[in-house]
Amino acid sequence: PTRGVARPRRGDARARPRRATRASAKKRKGFAELLGGAASDDGDARAERAGATTSAKGKAARSAEARCPCGGGRDGLTYASCCKRFHDGDAYPEDPVTLMRTRFSAYAKGKGLYVVKTTHPDNPLLMEGAKTKTGKVVSTLARDVEATCKKVRFYDLDIVRDVKGKGKGDAREHLVGFRYKCRVVGQQGFNELPEEKHAELSTFRTTTDDDGNEVWKFVDGIQGST
């Protein structure tokens, strides 16, 4: 909950086999009808329409894949035209929502260092690392983010809330609520698991960077809330 994007729970992923089965059954039915439907004079026309529909869906899928993981804004920009410049260090987000989007894209693109760079000094994991109940440090934020990027595919980000927070001292604060989808991938012995839906309310707070500039950074997040 302190990293800005939730790790999926395997229990949740296994709790929905029926839905996947029904979806699979629908696909098989449609495919069977397309191949083995009753013969008629307009069979070629139906096949042509089916081919056109499949082609249109393929183009739409490719278009979606070309967009930046954050959604690319209203214009559906590509990653190169959207979040890449922030990840490359050529620019820094000027507001919390843009920062949220670039962090999400960083998880999707495996840019762990950017996630660490944009985490506020007040974040417990950044300060102390992940600990066991006995207080033993077992991981750092950087290692944790890297592992998450390798095991999870993130997509369909939707920002649903952006409100001013209470702040802390002279620092400004904003709360950004968002929803997203993900799938666990790449684990040995497992195929890609069913789609999961998550929601989070993240806190962003200003701090001063090495050049004395005021910048926004991620503090923490509440899972399941927006």
Domains of the chain: 79-223 (3.10.450.50)
In this predicted structure, the answer to whether residue 24 has a pLDDT above a threshold of 50 is: no
Residue 78: count other Cβ atoms within 10 Å of its Cβ. 14
Summarize pLDDT for 111-121 with one digit per residue, the tens. 999 999 999 99
pLDDT of the residue at 32 = 33
What are the two backbone dihedrals, phi and then psi, of residue 173, each rounded to the nearest 5 degrees?
A: -145, 145
Identify residue 63 by its one-letter amino acid code: S
d(CA 32, CA 154): 32
Instruction: Give the mean model confidence (pLDDT) for residues 155-182.
Output: 91
In this predicted structure, the answer to whether residue 30 has a pLDDT above a threshold of 60 is no
pLDDT for position 199: 95
**115 half-sphere exposure, CB direction, 13 A CA radius:** 27
pLDDT band at 23 (very low <50, low <70, confident <90, very high): very low
Give which of 82, 74, 70 is closest to 108, Cα–Cα: 70
- What does the pLDDT read at residue 28? 34
Q: Count how many Cα atoms sit within 13 Å of the Cα of residue 127 in the half-sphere of its side chain.
A: 8
Dihedral class, residue 36 (left if φ above 0, else alpha if ψ from -120 to 50, else beta): alpha
pLDDT the model gives residue 224? 79
Split at pLDDT 50, 70, 90, the class of 50 is very low
Give residue-wise pLDDT tens across range 113-154.
999 999 999 988 876 666 666 666 666 788 888 888 888 999
Distances (CA, A) of 48 to 44, 52, 54: 6, 6, 10
Most confident of 2-6, 37-41, 193-197, 199-203: 199-203
Pairing of strands 137-139, 196-208: unpaired
Model pLDDT, residue 81: 96
